[in-house]
Structure 1
Amino acid sequence: MKVGVALWETVQFEGSRWQVVALDAGAVALRSLDGLRPRTATVAALLTCPEDGPLEANRVPLLRVSAFDTAPAAARAQALFLQRHVHEVLTGLPPDCPSGTRARPEYDHQHTLRQRVEAKSTELSTIGIDLSPRSLWRCIAHYRIDGVAGLLDPRTVRTATVTGRVDPRVVAVVEDVLAHQKILSTGTRARALAQIEVEAAAENLTLPSSRTLYRLVNRLDRQRHSFGNATTRRTQANRPDRAYGHQVPSRPGQLVEIDSTPLDVLVLYPDGGSGRVDLTIVLDIATRTLLAAVLSPVAAKAVDAALMLARAMTPPLVQPGWADAVRFSRSLLPEGALEEPEVLAEQLRERPVVSIESVTIDRGRVFVSSTFLAACERLQISLVKAAPRTPTDKPHVERMFRSINTLFIQYLTGYTGPNVVCRGADVAAEALWPLAQVQDLLDQWIVQCWQNRPHSGLRLLAVPQQHLTPNEMLEALSAVAPGVAVVFDTDDYIALLPRVWRTVQRYGINFSGLTYDSPALGPFRNVRSGIRSPEACDKWEVRYDPYRMNRVYLRNHEAGCWVEVGWTLQAQTLAPFGIDVLRAAQAAVARRAERPAASAAALLNEINRIQTSVTAENRVERAARRRGSTQQLPAALPQPEPSAERAYLRVVVDASDVAEDQPEQKLAGEPLPEPQPLKRFLYNEPPDDGWV
């Protein structure tokens, strides 16, 4: 903690000890205590160096003064009562006496301090308070060091740890048993306690009572779901024990994620068999554009992953055989299920080719193979490897798999559902789609539906309330200016800021509708503070600056320091914003958002818009331009009809109805005769004539 310097005080400066021998208008004269020559320095230089400063603090830190507010009301009243009498012993007058009041004779400074202490002890004993001179001397010593906070009863401000008085060796055994639950099938707490007893007996440890162990297990679980669903438990264990990262690429292709996963659908293989397929996709993060998506009947091979890069960077129109494959699939599918190649080509021209600069991959054998690495090296693509078994390192592509499943896959026959609980009675008995036709339908869905579907994560500062489509974002992507970082390193200033009480969750601190996170919050996540005051309720003390809401400060009462925690989107703000700007932005987003729960990106864009709107005329001008842009953007590209995603629902074709005596027509790629379907499986009731 940096404090002021006084004359004849010993300070640490530039690795040596010095004594202040003179002060003059912000400059000090220093005499070396290590045999160096005398020198002068400014007070600012003396107090701003991280490792330098006074060796002895001559005043009470404000951090300790603020701890007085966390004590119970009865303890604070007792401390204020003692302060009044201690102050009278030291100065001769109570702290709240009017000016001009003379000290009582027994507390006049003509008497020694020892005599005044004995007089005060006698006075307190007459009113029924037994405070010996020795106890009064102790109160005076604490008052000189910590102020009124030093007069608090230590038993009332004592903090409790999560584990209480349990032996630390027993706590370590419980932690090991809970950590081992991640790979086991879900059991009860009784099974965990039995394992704890076995391991404690092997180490000759004495265990507390069963009720204490149950409470200890519940406190140490900390949202691990050790006794819940096994899938949830493994997901929680995969979360990184650090602050979540937030990547914001500024141009298409700057950050691309690639991954593969089995789809929840059964398809027909080219060999006549059936089974699930693997989907490998390449997703551009800046625009949410699906650069490529390839289905394979078995586990994806390394050559398939290398082909993904080529497909992502090559327009389908110039890929050999693309038009012929579409025509062939169209001849097999029901009428209207697949568009003409010319129509698809026109829609594909609206999606330009994105040049990939870097790609994030997991450590699967498909992507760490020499084939894929050689392809990336040839295309001059930088590789970023995700941490082992950490899907959160590439969250966008993981979420994209779910979107494909809910927006496309579930409408096909053979859909198996995400797990056996959601599976139909006999999925294998349903007539299935061929793999090649599913691939073509997926390509068409990407071009027609996904690329023209508004995405909540795609917004522009000019129209923050408007959700853009991937195609629109490719055309209108703009860079976001970095925020101005304001660093405060004065503990006294932080201690005087307004205070709130908050818990620290896995994602950070939630305050005033914003999420704050920092790597330094690791030891505090899902941990109780131990402050027992009625106001705190085991929450952490958080200080915030009403004029700079882009960061808050968590008080570590055990270490006696502050932990700076920033807003997760503070790097994208134009400047630090006040609480009034935040309230206005939240109200504007609530009025303009299409859905009640607006995203953090919309709030960020609204804050930046308010900060750049200086005058009323400017605001009216910008609002008019936004309204004009909002009306023109959706009309720039064709939008799919609401039922476009259901245009090819669960239609089954039996290829045996096609004439067997037309092999030349099949090889030539000419349209085959329209097949006669044996069955039609539709979610909605079909009309009497025609396809749905």
Structure 2
Amino acid sequence: MHTVSLTVGAMVLHPLGLSKVLHLQRGGIDLQTPAGVQFVPYASLEVRGFTDDSVQAEHTAISPWWFALSNDTRRQALDRLAIVQEILTGYRYGWPSEDNPGEPFHPFGPGFNASLRQRAIAMERRLAGTQDSSNGGSSPAVGFSTIKRWITLYEQAGLRALVDGRSARDRKDFSDLDSRFRQIVEDVISPFDGTASAVNVAELQRRVWLGMKEGGLSRDIVPERMSAEYVSWRYSVCGSRPRAHRSAKVRKRSAHQPSPIVHPSHVSMDTTRADNLVHDELRQTSYSVEITVIISVATRVVLALRVTPRSVNSIEAGLCLYDAMRPFSLKVEGTNVDDWRWAGVPRSLESPLFPPRREVTHESTTLQGLHHIPGIRPSSFRTDHGAAFMAGHFMGLLRDFGISLWPSRVGASTDNAHIERFWETIQRALQQIPGYKGRNTSQRGRRIVVADQPLMTAHELETYLRRFVALDYHRAPHDGLKIGGLESQRITPLEYFDFAMEACGDITVPQHPDLIYEFLPIRWLTIGHAGTEYKGLSYDSDALDAYRHVRRGTFRADDTAAPFMYDPRDCTRLWFRDPESGRVTEIPSRHQHLLTMPLTQRIRDKAVDAIAARGGNSRLRRQTSTQQIIDELGSLYQAPPAKEWNATMTAERLRFETAQRDHAEAAEAWKRVSKATRRTSTPTMAAKSTDSWIDDAWPDLEGK
């Protein structure tokens, strides 16, 4: 252990000022103080070694308050002390044995019979002369009334009273508080990480006192005012609301440097509730939807955007990935703006299926023309732990395409910070259209739907947001995009994407009209003379004729089942890939012509459950199950449903309509490929064709 000796002649900081050790006694020391000789026990001293003020020890009555002050504050207090002691005693140290040459000077000290006012005025003149000679008079002069006030304060409270209150006002010596008290405060504050509701400081103080009582501690171990300040300060660090509590917790785990990801194929995906209501045309009501987005982390380019019902599922997440792998274009011609169109379909399946590399940056001076939305095969995927992203179907898609999944840490929203920031950007679009309801209930007005401002449908909202991305977001400079050596240049996401692709190389997916079926789940079903059956519905087509009675092991070992693609959003059909031609063919339900309402997996399961509830499994006979389901669907749509089922029907109809557009897009791609193949079948036409990719405007798949 390092020890420090206290010697005769050493300076000790006493509550009355600087003092000198005269004698070392057995139980303490004799100190020469400005008030005379005093005996101080060793227990009342704290020896520190020599400091900047030549002080070797200090009295416990003034420690650790003194050393908690800044150096400038301590120096200022000692200067005032010297002025006061010279006025009162004639000596700056307060006693004759430590006099400076010439002391005492006139009229300071009791020997000149000058009044206290006269001495203060003389000190004012001396200080003014000292300041003028040292810095040209730039410092404010000290008046005699201020000096008299210093004398009064010193006589009342000693050295402590000479410290400028403004310098010490904001200093909270929380380190002096009992460590047991501070630990109790930490235990009380720790639950406020975003999971607990906010409370006021008085309640926190009550919990702290209760914790001290349970721990056998007296409230007298801490000053009441300082303890209350400490509790208030610790809680203010966490924030005032649960959202701030969560942010404070996340900041402890977040990085302090930008991500080193540079390749555009590192993508991020997330889903959020849209802050706008949309219109249900069938039921003439409004409801909420969600927005699912995939962005390229390095370039901030939006690769895919879909509007889905609430609680997006793994099928919809997978189809968003399907969009991210396809290049799109949006055409502006005059005042007409179309939707995103698949711009990567080959004109002939005999040509390369990889779309050619091209610049995606649009002319910045005009909106007219084609606006490209690039497609890319992701190499890594950043998501949260949402059920849709952790489901087996979505995980299987990532595995099949060789994509690494990087799930965020639980509770660490900053792991996916780039797409979380995009939700703030998209507010600029959402606040411009009817039905905006605010980010939360505290921002919501009394009236959301206005009579003369009709709401958009879900599909119209999706189209609007896609236009915003292509015409606004992709064309605006992004503050988070910088190129080494050109940090002052303002760069748009598309410009950075072109730069990154040239520097890092391209990763694309072979484009094919049947690409969507790579993203649908597989059902293994047996093909019989009447087709195949799944979940009570029968499906058949001429495309199955060659496979009605196949041998065991034809498609997979140990049985005669064949793989069918299945879309839970549309149960009116299946899809079958012919092993000979590789072509995917639609296999419709045998009773599709009887269906006049959307049929999704959830609605079909509801109908089956209703039939079984009326008579058990005996009511579901193989020969009549399809007709029973169709009849039950009619009753489900015609009867006034409960409020909860009403919302379900609205969501399922949105899913069904989205499925119709997705599969119509694939069918249209086949038509265009077949038509282009026929056009280029003659040598003359083939010689004239220089572009092997369809990049012109598509027809309106809505049939409008």
TM superposition score category, shorter chain reference: 0.3 to 0.5
Question: What's the TM-score once normalised by structure 2's chain length?
Answer: 0.43
- Higher Cα Rg: structure 1 or 2? 2
Bigger relative contact order, structure 1 or 2 (CA pairs below 8 A, ≥6 apart):
1
Question: What's the TM-score once normalised by structure 1's chain length?
Answer: 0.44
